[in-house]
Amino acid sequence: MISVAITRAAFSPEAELAGFAARRDTGSGALASFIGYCRNKSADSAVEQLELDHYPGFTEREVERMTHGVGAKHGVGEILVIHRVGTIAAGEAIVLVAVASAHRAAAFAAAEELMDRLKTDAPFWKRELGPAGARWIEPTAQDYARREEHEE
Amino acid sequence: MISVAITRAAFSPEAELAGFAARRDTGSGALASFIGYCRNKSADSAVEQLELDHYPGFTEREVERMTHGVGAKHGVGEILVIHRVGTIAAGEAIVLVAVASAHRAAAFAAAEELMDRLKTDAPFWKRELGPAGARWIEPTAQDYARREEHEE
Amino acid sequence: MTRILFFGRLRDVAGHGERDIDLPDDVATIADLRAWIGRDDAVLGDALRCRSIRACVNHVISIDDNASVKGAEEIAFMPPLSGG
Amino acid sequence: MTRILFFGRLRDVAGHGERDIDLPDDVATIADLRAWIGRDDAVLGDALRCRSIRACVNHVISIDDNASVKGAEEIAFMPPLSGG
- Cα gap B31→A122, rounded to integer Å: 20
Tell me if residue B134 falls in helix, strand or coil: strand
**Best of B38, B80, B112 to mutate (most A CBs within 10 Å, chain A):** B112
**What is the pLDDT tens value at each position of chain C, 84 positions in all?**
999 999 999 999 999 999 999 999 999 999 999 999 999 999 999 999 988 999 999 999 998 999 999 999 999 999 999 998
- Cα gap A41→A91, rounded to integer Å: 10
Distances (CA, A) of A31 to B13, B36, C68, D10: 11, 6, 45, 31
Query: Which of C56, C76, C82 is nearest residue A120 as measured by Cβ atoms?
Result: C82
D66 part of a folded domain: yes
Q: Which CATH architecture has domain B2-149?
A: Alpha-Beta Complex (3.90)
CATH of the domain at C29: 3.10.20.30
C83 part of a folded domain: no
- The rounded radius of gyration (Å) of the Cα atoms in chain A is 16
Tell me if residue B148 falls in helix, strand or coil: helix
Domain ranges of chain B: 2-149
What parts of chain D have a pLDDT lower than 70? none
Distance, in angstroms, between B50 CA and closest chain D CA?
12
Q: What is the domain count for chain D?
A: 1
pLDDT in tens, A87-145: 999 999 999 999 999 999 999 999 999 999 999 999 999 999 988 888 899 999 999 99
D7 part of a folded domain: yes
Which amino acid appears at position A15 of this protein? A
- Cα gap A130→B122, rounded to integer Å: 45
Q: Is a pLDDT exceeding 70 seen at residue A151?
A: yes
Query: Which of C78, C79, C84 is nearest residue A36 as measured by Cβ atoms?
Result: C84
- Cα gap A149→A73, rounded to integer Å: 14
Distance, in angstroms, between D51 CA and closest chain B CA?
14
8 Å CB contact of A58 and C81:
no
Q: By the CB < 8 Å criterion, does A82 face chain C?
A: no
Range of the domain at D6: 2-78
pLDDT at B46: 87
pLDDT in tens, B43-68: 778 889 999 999 999 999 999 999 99
ipTM reported for the complex, 2 dp: 0.93
pLDDT at A3: 98
Distance, in angstroms, between A7 CA and closest chain B CA?
19
Q: Which of B106, B124, B40 is nearest to D84 (CA)?
A: B124
pLDDT in tens, B79-93: 999 999 999 999 999
pLDDT band at residue A42 under the 50/70/90 scheme: confident
What parts of chain B have a pLDDT lower than 70? 152
C84 part of a folded domain: no
What is the rounded average pLDDT of the residues A65-75? 98
8 Å CB contact of B123 and D9:
no
